Amino acid sequence: SSFDHVDWQSILNDIATDIQPYLAKGKVASYIPALANVDPHQFGIAFTDIRGNTYKAGPSADTPFSIQSISKVFALVMALDLEGEALWKKVGREPSGGRFNSIVQLESEQGRPRNPFINAGAIAVTNSIQQHYCSGSDSNNKEDDKKLYTRQYTHKTSPDEYNSIAINKILDFLKTCAQTDQDIRIDPEVARSEALFGDRNRALAYFMRSYGVVQGDIGQTLHTYFHQCALEMSVTTLSKAGLFLAAAGQNPLAEDDGAMLVTSHDHVDRVNSLMMLCGHYDMSGDFAFRVGLAGKSGVGGGILAVVPDVGTLAVWSPRLNKAGNSYAGTLALEWFSGRTGVNLF
Ligand code: GLN
Protein backbone atom coordinates (compact mmCIF):
# COMPACT_ATOMS: atom_id res chain seq x y z
CA SER A 1 0.00 0.00 0.00
CA SER A 2 1.01 3.65 -0.12
CA PHE A 3 2.01 3.33 3.55
CA ASP A 4 4.66 0.65 2.97
CA HIS A 5 7.46 3.13 3.49
CA VAL A 6 6.16 4.80 6.60
CA ASP A 7 8.53 4.35 9.53
CA TRP A 8 5.86 3.60 12.13
CA GLN A 9 8.35 3.11 14.94
CA SER A 10 10.03 6.48 14.63
CA ILE A 11 6.67 8.24 14.34
CA LEU A 12 5.47 6.56 17.54
CA ASN A 13 8.76 7.43 19.30
CA ASP A 14 8.41 11.09 18.34
CA ILE A 15 4.81 11.21 19.52
CA ALA A 16 5.74 9.64 22.88
CA THR A 17 8.39 12.35 23.33
CA ASP A 18 6.36 15.30 22.12
CA ILE A 19 3.33 14.37 24.24
CA GLN A 20 5.14 14.74 27.57
CA PRO A 21 4.14 18.37 28.30
CA TYR A 22 0.48 17.53 27.58
CA LEU A 23 0.17 14.66 30.05
CA ALA A 24 -0.81 17.09 32.81
CA LYS A 25 -3.94 18.22 30.94
CA GLY A 26 -7.39 16.93 31.84
CA LYS A 27 -8.70 14.96 34.80
CA VAL A 28 -8.84 11.23 35.53
CA ALA A 29 -12.25 9.59 35.79
CA SER A 30 -13.55 9.92 39.32
CA TYR A 31 -16.91 8.10 39.17
CA ILE A 32 -15.37 5.02 40.76
CA PRO A 33 -12.45 4.83 43.23
CA ALA A 34 -10.72 2.10 41.25
CA LEU A 35 -10.19 4.56 38.37
CA ALA A 36 -9.72 7.70 40.46
CA ASN A 37 -6.65 6.07 42.05
CA VAL A 38 -4.80 5.35 38.79
CA ASP A 39 -1.46 7.18 38.40
CA PRO A 40 -2.48 9.91 35.93
CA HIS A 41 0.96 10.60 34.44
CA GLN A 42 1.13 7.69 32.03
CA PHE A 43 1.29 7.28 28.28
CA GLY A 44 1.52 4.36 25.90
CA ILE A 45 0.80 3.96 22.19
CA ALA A 46 0.90 0.89 19.93
CA PHE A 47 0.26 0.23 16.26
CA THR A 48 -0.25 -3.22 14.75
CA ASP A 49 -0.06 -3.30 10.98
CA ILE A 50 -2.15 -5.46 8.72
CA ARG A 51 0.62 -8.07 8.54
CA GLY A 52 0.61 -8.42 12.30
CA ASN A 53 3.77 -6.46 13.17
CA THR A 54 3.39 -4.43 16.35
CA TYR A 55 5.21 -1.17 17.05
CA LYS A 56 4.98 0.56 20.42
CA ALA A 57 6.28 3.58 22.32
CA GLY A 58 5.86 5.32 25.66
CA PRO A 59 6.70 4.08 29.16
CA SER A 60 3.25 2.54 29.69
CA ALA A 61 2.86 0.66 26.41
CA ASP A 62 2.86 -2.67 28.26
CA THR A 63 0.91 -1.60 31.34
CA PRO A 64 -2.60 -3.08 31.56
CA PHE A 65 -5.35 -0.47 31.98
CA SER A 66 -9.13 -0.57 32.24
CA ILE A 67 -10.46 -0.50 28.66
CA GLN A 68 -13.98 0.43 29.85
CA SER A 69 -16.17 1.49 26.94
CA ILE A 70 -13.75 0.23 24.31
CA SER A 71 -15.22 -3.16 25.21
CA LYS A 72 -18.46 -1.92 23.64
CA VAL A 73 -16.92 -2.40 20.19
CA PHE A 74 -16.17 -6.08 20.79
CA ALA A 75 -19.55 -6.70 22.41
CA LEU A 76 -21.25 -5.11 19.40
CA VAL A 77 -19.42 -7.41 16.99
CA MET A 78 -20.50 -10.42 19.05
CA ALA A 79 -24.12 -9.29 19.25
CA LEU A 80 -24.25 -8.56 15.51
CA ASP A 81 -22.94 -12.04 14.80
CA LEU A 82 -25.50 -13.57 17.15
CA GLU A 83 -28.56 -11.51 16.22
CA GLY A 84 -27.88 -10.00 12.81
CA GLU A 85 -30.13 -7.19 11.64
CA ALA A 86 -32.63 -7.82 14.46
CA LEU A 87 -30.20 -6.06 16.79
CA TRP A 88 -31.16 -2.70 15.26
CA LYS A 89 -34.64 -3.05 16.70
CA LYS A 90 -33.09 -2.64 20.13
CA VAL A 91 -30.55 0.06 19.38
CA GLY A 92 -30.17 2.89 16.87
CA ARG A 93 -27.32 4.19 14.72
CA GLU A 94 -27.35 7.92 15.37
CA PRO A 95 -24.86 10.02 17.31
CA SER A 96 -26.38 11.00 20.62
CA GLY A 97 -24.79 14.40 21.10
CA GLY A 98 -25.04 13.64 24.80
CA ARG A 99 -22.94 12.33 27.63
CA PHE A 100 -21.96 8.65 27.78
CA ASN A 101 -24.35 7.85 30.59
CA SER A 102 -27.21 10.18 29.62
CA ILE A 103 -30.81 9.03 30.12
CA VAL A 104 -32.83 11.94 28.65
CA GLN A 105 -33.22 10.72 25.07
CA LEU A 106 -34.44 7.32 26.18
CA GLU A 107 -37.85 8.62 27.11
CA SER A 108 -38.67 10.39 23.85
CA GLU A 109 -37.37 7.40 21.87
CA GLN A 110 -39.45 4.76 23.68
CA GLY A 111 -36.50 3.26 25.49
CA ARG A 112 -34.45 2.57 22.35
CA PRO A 113 -30.92 3.97 22.80
CA ARG A 114 -29.52 6.11 20.01
CA ASN A 115 -26.42 3.98 19.40
CA PRO A 116 -24.50 0.98 20.79
CA PHE A 117 -21.63 3.08 22.17
CA ILE A 118 -23.41 5.12 24.82
CA ASN A 119 -24.02 3.22 28.05
CA ALA A 120 -27.72 2.60 27.40
CA GLY A 121 -26.99 1.17 23.95
CA ALA A 122 -24.14 -0.95 25.24
CA ILE A 123 -26.33 -2.37 28.01
CA ALA A 124 -28.91 -3.30 25.35
CA VAL A 125 -26.17 -5.02 23.33
CA THR A 126 -24.92 -6.89 26.40
CA ASN A 127 -28.52 -7.90 27.17
CA SER A 128 -28.70 -9.43 23.73
CA ILE A 129 -25.49 -11.46 24.30
CA GLN A 130 -26.74 -12.38 27.74
CA GLN A 131 -30.10 -13.58 26.44
CA HIS A 132 -28.39 -15.67 23.85
CA TYR A 133 -26.11 -17.56 26.21
CA CYS A 134 -28.25 -17.71 29.34
CA SER A 135 -31.84 -17.51 28.20
CA GLY A 136 -32.80 -20.22 30.69
CA SER A 137 -31.76 -18.18 33.70
CA ASP A 138 -34.54 -16.45 35.61
CA SER A 139 -35.91 -14.72 32.53
CA ASN A 140 -39.01 -12.66 33.17
CA ASN A 141 -39.44 -14.04 36.63
CA LYS A 142 -40.92 -11.14 38.55
CA GLU A 143 -40.21 -12.65 41.98
CA ASP A 144 -36.56 -13.14 41.19
CA ASP A 145 -36.30 -9.67 39.77
CA LYS A 146 -37.66 -8.25 42.98
CA LYS A 147 -35.02 -10.13 44.91
CA LEU A 148 -32.31 -8.98 42.55
CA TYR A 149 -33.41 -5.40 42.85
CA THR A 150 -33.26 -5.54 46.63
CA ARG A 151 -29.84 -7.10 46.55
CA GLN A 152 -28.44 -4.47 44.24
CA TYR A 153 -30.11 -1.61 45.98
CA THR A 154 -28.48 -2.53 49.26
CA HIS A 155 -25.15 -3.15 47.49
CA LYS A 156 -24.94 -6.61 48.92
CA THR A 157 -24.76 -8.36 45.60
CA SER A 158 -22.14 -11.02 45.63
CA PRO A 159 -20.73 -11.78 42.19
CA ASP A 160 -21.18 -15.47 42.99
CA GLU A 161 -24.93 -15.08 42.75
CA TYR A 162 -24.73 -14.49 39.02
CA ASN A 163 -23.49 -16.79 36.34
CA SER A 164 -20.49 -15.77 34.30
CA ILE A 165 -21.16 -17.52 31.02
CA ALA A 166 -21.71 -14.38 28.94
CA ILE A 167 -18.80 -12.46 30.42
CA ASN A 168 -16.51 -15.43 29.84
CA LYS A 169 -17.65 -15.51 26.21
CA ILE A 170 -16.75 -11.84 25.86
CA LEU A 171 -13.37 -12.43 27.54
CA ASP A 172 -12.68 -15.41 25.28
CA PHE A 173 -13.65 -13.40 22.22
CA LEU A 174 -11.06 -10.73 23.10
CA LYS A 175 -8.41 -13.38 23.69
CA THR A 176 -9.16 -14.97 20.33
CA CYS A 177 -8.99 -11.60 18.60
CA ALA A 178 -5.65 -10.73 20.23
CA GLN A 179 -4.43 -14.33 19.92
CA THR A 180 -3.19 -14.39 23.49
CA ASP A 181 -4.27 -16.07 26.69
CA GLN A 182 -2.00 -14.00 28.86
CA ASP A 183 -2.53 -10.29 28.84
CA ILE A 184 -6.29 -9.89 29.01
CA ARG A 185 -8.21 -10.13 32.28
CA ILE A 186 -11.10 -8.69 34.22
CA ASP A 187 -9.93 -6.52 37.10
CA PRO A 188 -12.10 -7.68 40.03
CA GLU A 189 -11.57 -4.41 41.90
CA VAL A 190 -12.87 -2.34 38.97
CA ALA A 191 -15.80 -4.73 38.47
CA ARG A 192 -16.72 -4.38 42.14
CA SER A 193 -16.49 -0.60 41.91
CA GLU A 194 -18.70 -0.59 38.80
CA ALA A 195 -21.35 -2.60 40.65
CA LEU A 196 -21.16 -0.51 43.82
CA PHE A 197 -21.44 2.81 42.00
CA GLY A 198 -23.57 1.57 39.11
CA ASP A 199 -26.95 3.08 39.96
CA ARG A 200 -27.03 5.21 36.82
CA ASN A 201 -26.46 2.15 34.66
CA ARG A 202 -29.10 0.24 36.62
CA ALA A 203 -31.51 3.09 36.00
CA LEU A 204 -30.82 2.97 32.26
CA ALA A 205 -31.32 -0.80 32.16
CA TYR A 206 -34.58 -0.91 34.09
CA PHE A 207 -35.91 2.09 32.20
CA MET A 208 -35.25 0.27 28.92
CA ARG A 209 -36.93 -2.85 30.25
CA SER A 210 -40.04 -0.87 31.08
CA TYR A 211 -40.33 -0.27 27.32
CA GLY A 212 -39.55 -3.90 26.51
CA VAL A 213 -36.33 -2.96 24.70
CA VAL A 214 -34.29 -5.26 26.92
CA GLN A 215 -35.59 -8.48 28.41
CA GLY A 216 -34.99 -11.09 31.00
CA ASP A 217 -32.83 -10.95 34.09
CA ILE A 218 -31.58 -7.38 34.21
CA GLY A 219 -29.44 -8.01 37.29
CA GLN A 220 -27.60 -10.64 35.28
CA THR A 221 -27.21 -8.31 32.30
CA LEU A 222 -25.80 -5.58 34.54
CA HIS A 223 -23.42 -8.06 36.15
CA THR A 224 -22.07 -8.90 32.72
CA TYR A 225 -21.92 -5.21 31.72
CA PHE A 226 -20.02 -4.23 34.90
CA HIS A 227 -17.46 -6.97 34.27
CA GLN A 228 -17.18 -6.10 30.60
CA CYS A 229 -16.29 -2.51 31.60
CA ALA A 230 -13.59 -3.92 33.90
CA LEU A 231 -11.66 -5.71 31.13
CA GLU A 232 -8.02 -4.75 31.19
CA MET A 233 -5.05 -5.07 28.85
CA SER A 234 -2.17 -2.99 27.53
CA VAL A 235 -2.27 -0.82 24.40
CA THR A 236 0.02 -3.38 22.78
CA THR A 237 -2.52 -6.16 23.30
CA LEU A 238 -5.48 -3.89 22.46
CA SER A 239 -3.97 -2.90 19.10
CA LYS A 240 -3.78 -6.62 18.28
CA ALA A 241 -7.27 -7.39 19.56
CA GLY A 242 -8.76 -4.76 17.24
CA LEU A 243 -6.76 -5.73 14.17
CA PHE A 244 -9.67 -7.53 12.48
CA LEU A 245 -11.43 -4.14 12.24
CA ALA A 246 -8.66 -3.01 9.87
CA ALA A 247 -8.58 -6.36 8.06
CA ALA A 248 -12.16 -6.70 6.77
CA GLY A 249 -13.05 -9.11 9.57
CA GLN A 250 -10.08 -11.45 9.09
CA ASN A 251 -7.50 -11.97 11.80
CA PRO A 252 -3.99 -11.66 10.36
CA LEU A 253 -2.58 -12.85 13.71
CA ALA A 254 -4.34 -16.21 13.66
CA GLU A 255 -2.25 -19.24 12.83
CA ASP A 256 -4.92 -21.90 12.60
CA ASP A 257 -7.64 -21.56 9.99
CA GLY A 258 -10.47 -21.75 12.52
CA ALA A 259 -9.57 -18.38 14.05
CA MET A 260 -8.95 -16.56 10.77
CA LEU A 261 -12.41 -15.15 10.32
CA VAL A 262 -13.53 -13.02 13.27
CA THR A 263 -16.62 -11.52 11.67
CA SER A 264 -17.95 -10.51 8.25
CA HIS A 265 -16.60 -7.66 6.17
CA ASP A 266 -20.06 -6.16 6.29
CA HIS A 267 -20.15 -6.13 10.10
CA VAL A 268 -16.70 -4.56 10.26
CA ASP A 269 -17.73 -1.76 7.88
CA ARG A 270 -20.74 -1.00 10.01
CA VAL A 271 -18.91 -1.11 13.31
CA ASN A 272 -16.22 1.20 11.94
CA SER A 273 -18.85 3.67 10.70
CA LEU A 274 -20.45 3.71 14.13
CA MET A 275 -17.07 4.19 15.79
CA MET A 276 -16.44 7.24 13.67
CA LEU A 277 -19.90 8.72 14.24
CA CYS A 278 -20.52 7.76 17.87
CA GLY A 279 -17.24 6.56 19.38
CA HIS A 280 -16.49 9.67 21.45
CA TYR A 281 -19.90 10.66 22.85
CA ASP A 282 -20.60 14.36 22.48
CA MET A 283 -17.10 14.94 21.12
CA SER A 284 -17.42 12.41 18.30
CA GLY A 285 -17.52 15.25 15.78
CA ASP A 286 -14.39 16.78 17.25
CA PHE A 287 -12.56 13.44 17.07
CA ALA A 288 -13.59 12.85 13.45
CA PHE A 289 -12.60 16.41 12.57
CA ARG A 290 -9.17 16.23 14.20
CA VAL A 291 -8.18 12.58 13.63
CA GLY A 292 -10.23 11.45 10.62
CA LEU A 293 -10.34 7.81 11.76
CA ALA A 294 -12.87 5.44 13.31
CA GLY A 295 -12.16 5.45 17.04
CA LYS A 296 -13.63 4.35 20.34
CA SER A 297 -12.71 5.78 23.72
CA GLY A 298 -13.14 4.56 27.27
CA VAL A 299 -13.17 6.50 30.55
CA GLY A 300 -10.07 4.57 31.61
CA GLY A 301 -8.21 6.84 29.14
CA GLY A 302 -7.80 4.37 26.30
CA ILE A 303 -8.70 4.87 22.63
CA LEU A 304 -8.79 2.26 19.86
CA ALA A 305 -8.52 3.65 16.32
CA VAL A 306 -8.79 1.85 12.99
CA VAL A 307 -7.05 2.54 9.69
CA PRO A 308 -8.83 0.23 7.23
CA ASP A 309 -6.41 -2.04 5.31
CA VAL A 310 -3.42 -0.53 7.11
CA GLY A 311 -3.55 -1.30 10.83
CA THR A 312 -4.97 -0.61 14.26
CA LEU A 313 -3.79 1.85 16.89
CA ALA A 314 -4.29 1.90 20.62
CA VAL A 315 -3.32 4.73 22.92
CA TRP A 316 -3.64 5.23 26.67
CA SER A 317 -3.29 8.19 28.97
CA PRO A 318 -5.67 8.43 31.95
CA ARG A 319 -6.47 12.14 32.07
CA LEU A 320 -9.74 12.94 30.25
CA ASN A 321 -11.26 15.91 28.46
CA LYS A 322 -14.74 17.17 29.37
CA ALA A 323 -16.53 14.51 27.34
CA GLY A 324 -14.65 11.67 29.06
CA ASN A 325 -12.11 10.94 26.33
CA SER A 326 -8.34 10.79 26.87
CA TYR A 327 -6.88 14.28 26.44
CA ALA A 328 -3.35 13.23 25.48
CA GLY A 329 -4.62 10.14 23.68
CA THR A 330 -6.75 12.21 21.31
CA LEU A 331 -3.86 14.58 20.67
CA ALA A 332 -1.48 11.68 20.01
CA LEU A 333 -3.91 10.23 17.46
CA GLU A 334 -4.31 13.62 15.81
CA TRP A 335 -0.52 13.81 15.41
CA PHE A 336 -0.30 10.20 14.20
CA SER A 337 -2.92 10.84 11.58
CA GLY A 338 -1.32 14.12 10.49
CA ARG A 339 2.26 12.82 10.42
CA THR A 340 1.55 9.54 8.60
CA GLY A 341 -1.25 10.71 6.33
CA VAL A 342 -3.62 7.88 7.35
CA ASN A 343 -6.57 10.28 7.73
CA LEU A 344 -9.41 8.61 5.82
CA PHE A 345 -10.28 11.81 4.02
N1 GLN B 1 -17.95 1.84 33.12
C2 GLN B 1 -18.34 3.09 32.54
C3 GLN B 1 -19.79 3.32 32.85
O4 GLN B 1 -20.58 2.45 32.62
C5 GLN B 1 -18.09 3.06 31.07
C6 GLN B 1 -18.26 4.40 30.46
C7 GLN B 1 -17.12 4.81 29.57
O8 GLN B 1 -16.06 4.21 29.45
N9 GLN B 1 -17.33 5.95 28.97
O10 GLN B 1 -20.16 4.36 33.35
Q: What ipTM does this complex have?
A: 0.95
Is the minimum distance from the CB of 120 to ligand 1 under 6 angstroms? no
Q: For the beta carbon of residue 209, count every other beta carbon within 10 angstroms.
A: 20
Q: What is the pTM of this model?
A: 0.93
49-60: per-residue pLDDT in tens? 999 999 999 999
Is the minimum distance from the CB of 58 to ligand 1 under 6 angstroms? no
Burial (CB < 10 A; 0-12, 13-18, 19+), residue 207, is middle
Residue nearest to atom 10 of ligand 1 (CA): 101
Is the minimum distance from the CB of 194 to ligand 1 under 6 angstroms? yes
Distance from the Cα of residue 343 to its chain's centroid: 22
Residue nearest to atom 6 of ligand 1 (CA): 69
Cβ-contact 194, 93 below 8 angstroms: no
**Nearest atom (ligand 1) to Cα of 229:** 1
Q: What are the residues facing 272 on neighbouring strands?
A: none
Percent of the chain exceeding pLDDT 90 equals 86
Residue of 246, 85, 79 whose CA lies nearest to 173: 79
The pairs formed by 280-286 with CB atoms below 8 angstroms and a separation of 24 or more are 280/323, 280/325, 280/330, 281/96, 281/98, 281/99, 281/100, 281/117, 281/118, 281/323, 281/324, 281/325, 282/96, 282/97, 282/98, 282/99, 282/323, 283/321, 283/322, 283/323, 283/325, 284/95, 285/95
Choosing from 74, 101, 204 the residue with most ligand 1 atoms within 8 A of its CB, the one to mutate for a pocket test is 101
* Radius of gyration of the chain, Cα coordinates, nearest whole angstrom: 19
Q: What is the dihedral of CA 245, 238, 236, 286, to 10 degrees?
A: 80
155-195: per-residue pLDDT in tens? 335 556 788 999 999 999 999 999 999 899 999 999 999 99
Q: Is the pLDDT of residue 152 over 70?
A: no
Is the minimum distance from the CB of 334 to ligand 1 under 6 angstroms? no
Using the mean position of ligand 1's atoms as its centre, give its distance from the Cα of residue 298 in Å.
7
Is the minimum distance from the CB of 201 to ligand 1 under 6 angstroms? yes
State the pLDDT at residue 161.
Answer: 74
Using the mean position of ligand 1's atoms as its centre, give its distance from the Cα of residue 299 in Å.
6
Q: For the beta carbon of residue 63, count every other beta carbon within 10 angstroms.
A: 18
Residue of 243, 307, 296, 344 whose CA lies nearest to 69: 296
Residue 181 CA to residue 187 CA, distance in Å, equals 15
Is the minimum distance from the CB of 282 to ligand 1 under 6 angstroms? no
Q: What are the residues facing 232 on neighbouring strands?
A: 66, 185
End-to-end CA distance of the chain: 16
Domains of the chain and any CATH numbers: 8-68+233-340 (3.40.710.10), 69-231 (3.40.710.10)
Average pLDDT over the chain reads: 92
Q: Amino acid letter at 73?
A: V
Is the minimum distance from the CB of 324 to ligand 1 under 6 angstroms? yes
Is the minimum distance from the CB of 69 to ligand 1 under 6 angstroms? yes
State the pLDDT at residue 158.
Answer: 57
